[in-house]
Structure 1
Amino acid sequence: MSAVLAPRVEMLRIGGGDIDEMLAIENRVHPFPWTRGNFLDSIASGYSAWGCRVTGELVGYCVLMIAVDEAHLLNISVAEKRQGMGFGARVLSHAMRVARQAGALILWLEVRPSNGKALALYRNFGFQQVGVRRGYYQATDGTEDALVMKHDLAEVSA
């Protein structure tokens, strides 16, 4: 019988040195991706940015803005070739823990109605739609609305 070691999966803080890897993922999975400037500004502003690495390879990341008792998930992405393997759930779960540990009671996010995979993930985690931002996202034929969702973090263990 041969022993197979599971790959090492780590959630680590993201810094400026990770931006090229993030951009490579971002540009493949989003029709209107964040720019280098968006990532640099987020990190410079002190937003909480985390990457999921599997044996050193960046497979996903998230960027959170945390203020007082609320957090806003600004970006969450998983590499195209790693989607459907549970990494989105791992990154989202980590983001929720980080937000809760920082004192946030609610986690907010926006999502495209056309992003079925993301919607399914958020609903599976108990996010509830509370509104719509009309024309929020850029789209190939103009704009697309954003569904505003929130999650009560009170039950998330810190």
Structure 2
Amino acid sequence: MSQILPLAELHLDQVEAIEPRAHSHPWSSSMIRDVNSRGACHHVLVDNEQVVGYFYAQNIVGEVTLLNIAVDPQHQGKGYGKRLVNAFIEMCENLNAESAWLEVRESNVTAFGLYEAIGFNEVDRRVNYYPSANGKEDAIIMSYIFF
């Protein structure tokens, strides 16, 4: 059975192994292992004691930003991404957040569709923000407002 847990030291090696498989431009080891940064609220999705996904988030004065989210590519297509995003929203609600923010590569249409279906709205773009195989691509900035 899978469960969402706060990120702990024992998860870091597995998170670090997933990161380069899940992202074209992965976070560095030092970023992954910086678990005590200001406002940190990071979680993992564990199935049979194996990390299959995670998110890193930061809560600064009621504004929560989803900094990084990933599902191990060998476990994609099983609904884990949706579970992680829903857990992120639930965490925000429990923190009495006013808003949640994220950005997504414009080429990541699957993630964009998931975020939109859950209730995020596109509010802006950072033009040519992310490096890509063909140069640069836009970052779509999305928000979720809690009422």
Fold shared per TM-score above 0.5: yes
What residue is the counterpart of 1:76 in the other structure? 69
TM norm structure 1: 0.87
Task: Report the CA distance between 1:142 and its aligned residue.
Answer: 2.9
Q: CA deviation at 1:16?
A: 2.9
- Alpha-carbon RMSD across the aligned residues, in angstroms, is 1.3
> What is the CA-CA distance between 1:54 and the residue it aligns to?
0.8
- Is residue 146 from structure 1 mapped to residue 139 from structure 2 by the alignment? yes
5+ residue gaps, structure 1, are 1-7
Aligned to 2:26: 33
In structure 2, give the amino acid aligned to 1:12. Answer: L
2:83 maps to which residue?
90
Q: Give the distance between the partners of 2:99 and 2:126, measured in 1 at CA.
A: 18
> What residue in structure 2 maps to residue 5 of structure 1?
none
Tell me if 1:106 matches 2:99.
yes
2:54 alignment partner, one of 57, 61, 83: 61
CA distance in 2, matches of 1:136, 1:103: 31
**SS in structure 1 at match of 2:24:** coil
Q: TM-score, normalised by structure 2?
A: 0.93
Between Structure 1 and Structure 2, whose CA radius of gyration is higher? 1
- TM-superposed CA distance for 1:27, in Å, is 0.7
Q: Match for 1:45 among 22, 37, 40?
A: 37
**Residue aligned with 1:75, SS:** strand
Aligned AA for 1:44?
Answer: N
CA distance in 1, matches of 2:67, 2:130: 13
Greater mean deviation of Cα atoms: 16-25 or 62-71 = 16-25
- Moved beyond 2 Å, runs of 4+: 140-143
How many residues of Structure 1 are paired with residues of Structure 2 in the alignment? 146
